[in-house]
Structure 1
Amino acid sequence: MSTPTPAETCDLLLTGGRIWTQDPDRPWAEAVAVTGGTIRAVGGAADLRALAGDRTRVVDLAGRFVLPGLVDAHIHLNLGGAQARWEMPLAPTAALEEVLEAVRAWAGDLGPREWVVGGILGSTVLAQVEADPSALRRLDEAAGGRPVLLRDDSMHNRWVSSAALAAMGVDAGSPDPEGGHLVRTPDGALNGVLHEMASALVESAFAASVPDPAARTLGSMEAAVRVVNSFGITSVQDAATTPAPVQALRTLEEQGRLSLRVVTSAPVRPFLEASVVGDELVAELRRHRSDLVRPDFVKVVLDGVPTTRTTALLTPYTCHHQHDTPEHGELYWTPEDLREQVEHCYDLRIGAKFHATGDASVRAVLDAVEAVRRVRGPGPVFHVAHASFVHPDDLPRFAALDVVADASPYIWYPGVIPEAIAAEVPADLVAAMWPLRSFVDDGVVVAAGSDWPCALPTPDPWTGLETLVTRRNPDPAVPGALNPAQALDLPDAIAALTSGAAAATGLGDVAGRLSPGLSADLIVLDRDLFEVPAGQIHETTVLQTWFRGDLVHEAAAVS
């Protein structure tokens, strides 16, 4: 073979690895050649060596296992980055006494009027706080009278101090905001627990206290990019996007510091952050479109979360509570309004991520999509997030209507959310949760997402990947499995984190596979996932992350 000319050689050659390409035409390879940040060739080490010239950077993978860069289909970059960069960390499994001690220690380093902001507060602790009339007083004492804002593991609810309630401008005589609850003690006093849209009030009060919001947002987004790259994530769908984080992303991109592809989701109605919404927000985000920032979805929230009985169910919850939530939960949209929203997505040529956590809200989405697809035919991509409770009659409708199942296996384990759900939701529904095997067998696109910073303090994909396969808590001390008949095999689970998530987010022609013409996004792991026991997948470490042919993360142990 003749020596290639400089114009024929590649810029980068990664060779000598065991590479899972996620390309069905060639699932395994030994080497990847890259030119201009794009994959030029994938194949055997000997064959691709011919593409290396004097200016080619050759990386010996030394037999290590390689995957395509991961795609997180449901994440909250600004919230997660802010938690990582600025806020008080809490383990979701922390008991109430541990939470109060953490608040006390964190407050000790703050000025007298500074806010204590942090998470993750476990749903089981939030339930305990609701039932304890002394909890608010103890939180006030721990914080030294400072305003406190603690976010729960669903990110839909908050526990706040008396000073925070005062900053919100609410008291015992204040009515509940639309779509939310100011939770009260039996005698009518506020206990500091906020459900759903009540949380927006405290978020706005805290935001007003930040002296330089733009700097905080930029620092949060910088931290978020660094964190997700460290876990091998190179593309994401931000699940609820407002202008300030997008402006920060564009700043990072213009400075050459954005090593992440971001698909945005514009809320169509007010949610938990103060922002413009709907068409005004869609237009604003579209002005920021770039190679790496893609404003291609809206976010539609149909209900709440099961831990506070605000998920919309077809059957009643197992118990009823003092703050008068309906026994079937709450559906925030009428069928007519929902159909109009689906129609509007067709008009805007934009996809939609529907937050629908109950079987009633899932059915409402499918009914609306079916009504519009029947008239207008194929159209935008629609996601159901999080497809946890699905009535058996509705399972085949996902495939028939080409609706994506947005799954968040991170929510199952190792946090306390499953325990909190089981305390509220009928046992037969819990036993049938997350029917992912049925989805895959029906040909439904399953896209996995961390929902970071919900559930866990990091967007660790390896815990999620393991639970997709095992349906068990990675901690062997926790017995039992969650609907084990719906477990995925490893290739299908990897697809949910790569090619499936890429297809769902509109990135299938760019990412999710290692194939010629796609972006050179790949990760090098410390273990071969096809060789280790499934119960060890959660221990995986990302040794290197490559984005568009650039090394953007390297573990300290790797030279």
Structure 2
Amino acid sequence: MSTGSADLVVTGGPVHTGIPGERAEGFAVRNGRIVAVGTAGEVDAWCGPGTRRLDLAGRLAVPGLIDGHIHLGIGGTQLALELPLLPTDGPDEVLTKVRDWAGRLEPDEWIVGGILGSGTYAALNSREMLRRLDEASLGHPVLLRDDTMHNRQVNSAALAAMGVDDTTPDPPGGTYARDADGRLTGALWELTSTRAEEAAKSAQRDPHGRLMTALRAALERTRRIGYTSLQDAATMEHHLAALQDLERSGDLPAWIVASMPARDFLEAGAVGEELFAQAPQYRSEQIRPDFVKFVIDGVPTTRTTALLHPYRCHHDSEDSEFRGTPYWSLDELTAGLRRCAELGLGAKIHATGDASVRLALDAAAIVRKDPGPQPIIQIAHMSFIAPEDLPRFAELDVYADACPFLWHPSPLFDAVAHQVPTETMDRIWPFKDLLATGAVVAGGSDWPVGLPELNPWLGIETMVTRGAPEEQGDPRRINPEQAITREQAVAAFTSASARALGIDDRTGALRPGLSADFLVLDRNIFEVPATEIHRTGVDETYFRGECVHSRG
């Protein structure tokens, strides 16, 4: 029975609460929070003279989606300010787009853009392609990001701005790609990319203004497609400052959980203890700098992922036993997790290979034996998991941060398969087995990594179908035995992600006491053919009980 009237009552269509198996006929909202969920009659009891009514008219209401792994700054900048490239663009198309973009710029402006498909990125790695990129750029420095966001392609003008030449040694954790004669090709692997990003940023006239524009673009996109909570996967201080400005101006329609890099990252700025000390000044109700980001290996396409089995060999000169090397030792990672516990922070651990996943689980196993407070631990990407390690996620209370959601044939998938042994690829993204052990699988996009467009409904669909959207015309299914149900997939982007982010006391489901973050959809994603889920449109997005997006 109600103890007062609600501000908003929602009825007239099916309500999925975000918990598998739970349905309702409506819910009531007061002061931005849900106060009742139940039958239409139970909810109607909350109506008063000032209550607004939202008639679903048969449409489905679901909780606001949660992206547990997104790069708001990079994605928004690419969306609003940079040269757009498609992962399917070949070298000639890339060069044509670079030349066209160069013609729009002021002298000395950088050409920054992406994303390069892994196949195109590899094709650009030569002295001849460097020469052609120099010609196409019309004298402008060029920085292009690949679909993993771990690597960059630059031209000679950018190398000069970076202060890098053929004699420059590789830094720890990074490589300047060279030809057989030791000459630079312009390809930058891992942490050498940071130097290029620093050089490009130093040439910007108004970095904070650019970032504000980028974040506004990213947040407009995310609320339009249904996100009301986001975990930024690599958050620097300048991101926190810009997010704070947006919140103060009323332009932050989402809960933001920040992940602060523990070591040098692919963006310029303070990391580690210096960043951790700065973060509390930005903490607010909506901005939560609650996680530390650990990158303990790289990406398969450049053989920087740490695997249990050797990479595939394509040339006689390659080491047939090479498995990649983690960036962190077990002792270092264990110490890092213990520091998280001391600071009251969680850990988001980037681990793309089965060896790095095991390393992360081994560190978690040690830390879980410690007395006192324990950190939330997520293992991000976890594309490959050895069968014997699957039960350890639930046993150690470690969340599976399942991203990116390219759980279907794609250029990036094929580039990974070119490097990773077949027996490992055959076990990719074992979601069904993880869920069977009791593990929590949280969904994320890793946008803009590998993605020309952000679409969480595609992520939900392909967790169910394990295939590409029908319009792509690719009939393959990727490890189809690991398909999960629609309700499990929706939970990955709602209630499960809320638990993994540590915000399940605030959002993630339609339940009394939680924030009224919900969506009204143009179709019932539990009834339409699974292959149509990616076409889902969001008619309305509500954050804290207020409409922040409407299709009119």
Same fold per TM (> 0.5)? Answer: yes
Cα distance in 2 for residues equivalent to 1:64 and 1:313: 46
- Please report how far the alpha carbon of residue 149 of structure 1 lies from its aligned counterpart in structure 2 after TM superposition: 0.8
Question: Are the equivalent residues in 2 in contact too, given 1:388–1:434 (CA < 8 A)?
Answer: yes
2:550 is aligned, of 537, 544, 554, to: 554
Cross-structure match for 1:494: 490
1:125 is aligned, of 90, 114, 120, to: 120
Cross-structure match for 1:503: 499
- Please report how far the alpha carbon of residue 378 of structure 1 lies from its aligned counterpart in structure 2 after TM superposition: 6.8
Cross-structure match for 2:262: 268
Question: Are the equivalent residues in 2 in contact too, given 1:414–1:474 (CA < 8 A)?
Answer: no
Cα distance in 2 for residues equivalent to 1:173 and 1:323: 24
Written as runs of structure 1 = structure 2, the 5 A alignment for 1:215-364 is: 215-319=209-313, 327-364=322-359
Of stretches 527-536 and 322-331 in structure 1, the one that deviates more from structure 2 is 322-331
**Does the alignment pair 1:33 with 2:28?**
yes
Contiguous gaps of at least 5 residues in structure 2:
none
1:401 is aligned, of 391, 396, 400, to: 396
- Please report how far the alpha carbon of residue 342 of structure 1 lies from its aligned counterpart in structure 2 after TM superposition: 1.6
Cα distance in 2 for residues equivalent to 1:234 and 1:346: 27
1:513 is aligned, of 503, 509, 514, to: 509
Cross-structure match for 1:523: 519
Note closer, same or farther for the CA distance 1:192–1:334 as it changes in structure 2 (3 Å cut): same
Of stretches 444-453 and 86-95 in structure 1, the one that deviates more from structure 2 is 86-95
Cα distance in 2 for residues equivalent to 1:166 and 1:324: 33
- Please report how far the alpha carbon of residue 415 of structure 1 lies from its aligned counterpart in structure 2 after TM superposition: 3.8
Written as runs of structure 1 = structure 2, the 5 A alignment for 1:445-524 is: 445-475=440-470, 477-524=473-520
- Please report how far the alpha carbon of residue 53 of structure 1 lies from its aligned counterpart in structure 2 after TM superposition: 2.4
Cross-structure match for 2:92: 97
Residue deviations 1:25-72 (CA, integer Å, cap 9, x gap) = x71122221111101112222332232223222121111111100010
Question: Are the equivalent residues in 2 in contact too, given 1:450–1:461 (CA < 8 A)?
Answer: yes
Contiguous gaps of at least 5 residues in structure 1:
none
Cα distance in 2 for residues equivalent to 1:543 and 1:104: 39
Residue deviations 1:512-544 (CA, integer Å, cap 9, x gap) = 100111000001111101111111111111111
Question: Are the equivalent residues in 2 in contact too, given 1:120–1:151 (CA < 8 A)?
Answer: yes
The one-letter amino acid of 2:160's match is A
- Please report how far the alpha carbon of residue 413 of structure 1 lies from its aligned counterpart in structure 2 after TM superposition: 4.1
Written as runs of structure 1 = structure 2, the 5 A alignment for 1:419-430 is: 419-430=414-425
Question: Are the equivalent residues in 2 in contact too, given 1:122–1:415 (CA < 8 A)?
Answer: no
- Please report how far the alpha carbon of residue 84 of structure 1 lies from its aligned counterpart in structure 2 after TM superposition: 1.2
Q: SS state of the match for residue 287, structure 1?
A: helix
Amino-acid identity (%): 51
What TM-score do you get using the length of structure 2 for normalisation? 0.96
- Please report how far the alpha carbon of residue 458 of structure 1 lies from its aligned counterpart in structure 2 after TM superposition: 3.0
Q: SS state of the match for residue 374, structure 1?
A: coil
Cross-structure match for 1:185: 179
Note closer, same or farther for the CA distance 1:546–1:325 as it changes in structure 2 (3 Å cut): farther
**Does the alignment pair 1:167 with 2:144?**
no
Question: Are the equivalent residues in 1 in contact too, given 2:341–2:374 (CA < 8 A)?
Answer: yes
What TM-score do you get using the length of structure 1 for normalisation? 0.95
Question: Are the equivalent residues in 2 in contact too, given 1:410–1:455 (CA < 8 A)?
Answer: no
**Does the alignment pair 1:145 with 2:139?**
yes
Aligned length: 550
Q: SS state of the match for residue 391, structure 2?
A: helix
Of stretches 502-511 and 407-416 in structure 1, the one that deviates more from structure 2 is 407-416
Question: Are the equivalent residues in 2 in contact too, given 1:93–1:415 (CA < 8 A)?
Answer: no
Cα distance in 2 for residues equivalent to 1:488 and 1:455: 23
Task: Calculate the aligned-residue CA RMSD, in Å.
Answer: 1.8
- Please report how far the alpha carbon of residue 459 of structure 1 lies from its aligned counterpart in structure 2 after TM superposition: 2.6
Cα distance in 2 for residues equivalent to 1:300 and 1:79: 18
Question: Are the equivalent residues in 1 in contact too, given 2:409–2:477 (CA < 8 A)?
Answer: no
Cα distance in 2 for residues equivalent to 1:253 and 1:46: 37
Question: Are the equivalent residues in 2 in contact too, given 1:183–1:323 (CA < 8 A)?
Answer: no
2:15 is aligned, of 15, 19, 30, to: 19
The one-letter amino acid of 2:485's match is D
Written as runs of structure 1 = structure 2, the 5 A alignment for 1:359-374 is: 359-374=354-369
Q: SS state of the match for residue 231, structure 2?
A: strand
Question: Are the equivalent residues in 2 in contact too, given 1:11–1:55 (CA < 8 A)?
Answer: yes
Question: Are the equivalent residues in 1 in contact too, given 2:149–2:449 (CA < 8 A)?
Answer: yes
Q: SS state of the match for residue 411, structure 1?
A: coil
The one-letter amino acid of 2:358's match is R
- Please report how far the alpha carbon of residue 412 of structure 1 lies from its aligned counterpart in structure 2 after TM superposition: 3.5
Cross-structure match for 1:444: 439
Cross-structure match for 2:62: 67
Question: Are the equivalent residues in 2 in contact too, given 1:181–1:323 (CA < 8 A)?
Answer: no
Q: SS state of the match for residue 368, structure 2?
A: helix
Q: SS state of the match for residue 410, structure 1?
A: coil
Cα distance in 2 for residues equivalent to 1:49 and 1:523: 20
**Does the alignment pair 1:205 with 2:199?**
yes
